[in-house]
Amino acid sequence: MFKSLNPFRALQNAPSPQSMLKAHPVVTFQDPLHQQMALQVEHCYQIAESKLGRCFPRPEIGFMLRGKSAGTAHLQLNKLRFNPKLLNDNQQAFLDDVIPHEICHLLAFQLYGRVKPHGREWQSLMQSLYGRVPRTTHSFDTRAVEGKTFEYRCQCGPIKLSIRRHNKVIRGETQYRCRRCGQQLRAEPRIPPR
């Protein structure tokens, strides 16, 4: 389901060396916000290329990421994936922070190979290319993308279990204990319907 933004693929049949110097074609996305993201990715690559004085293959871009992560970078595949729900709710932060963050992972891999994901190389790219504070976590509200949870309780108070854990308890596969008090978590009794 990924649309290709890889310029080398698009330019494969273009023999003229001049055409390699022209702007990279940006694949069109139907969703205007996704399109804006693709243009911002291209913009960030152009900054990287002019500051570092070399070319980088453009990544494929997808918007199929689920869960609580804002984005991921697949280093070997040269792919970026973004979380469409979190994007919708945090558009400016994605353009300003998430895109540079993920691109710097790809650039660090292209430049230095396998290095620590948020190590020195990545941090210095974030600062020198995009002037961004190299933060490793986002603070978006993830309630909308969290799965259904179930109320449990220990003596410390109520606690939520994911549906996956809840099902394990129901099937008798495991029990969970509170890390603080050590008490076994018990399902919160439902209020009986009248």
Single-letter amino acid code for the residue at 184: Q
Residue 135 as a binder of Zn ion (CB under 5 A): the answer is no
Least separation in angstroms between CB 101 and Zn ion = 6
DSSP-derived secondary structure for 135-190:
-S------GGGS--EEEEEETTEEEEEEHHHHHHHHTTS---B-TTT-PBPEEPPP
Q: Which is nearer to Zn ion, 54 or 180 (CB)?
A: 180
Least separation in angstroms between CB 7 and Zn ion = 24
Block residue for tokens 């291209």: 42
Q: Which is catalytic among the residues 42, 49, 60, 102?
A: 102
Subset of residues 145 to 184 that bind Zn ion, contact rule: CB under 5 A: 154, 156, 178, 180-181
CA distances to 7, 71, 148, 183, 186 from 165, rounded to whole Å, are 44, 25, 11, 16, 12
For Zn ion (CB under 5 A), the number of binding residues is 5
Q: Which is nearer to Zn ion, 9 or 186 (CB)?
A: 186
Secondary structure E strands in the chain: 60-62, 71-74, 79-82, 149-154, 157-162, 186-187
Closest residue to Zn ion, judged by C-beta, is 178
Q: Which is nearer to Zn ion, 38 or 154 (CB)?
A: 154
The answer to whether residue 146 is catalytic is no
Nearest to 32 by CA among 93, 91, 103: 91
Q: Which is nearer to Zn ion, 7 or 62 (CB)?
A: 62
Strand, coil or helix: 38: helix
Helix 120-130 to helix 32-52 angle (10° resolution) is: 100
Residue 34 assigned to a binding site: no
Least separation in angstroms between CB 18 and Zn ion = 37
Structure token digits, residue 7 = 């310029």
Return binding residues for Zn(2+). 101, 105
Q: Which residues are annotated as a binding site?
A: 101, 105
Residues in contact with Zn ion by CB under 5 A are: 154, 156, 178, 180-181
Where in the sequence numbering do the catalytic residues fall? 102
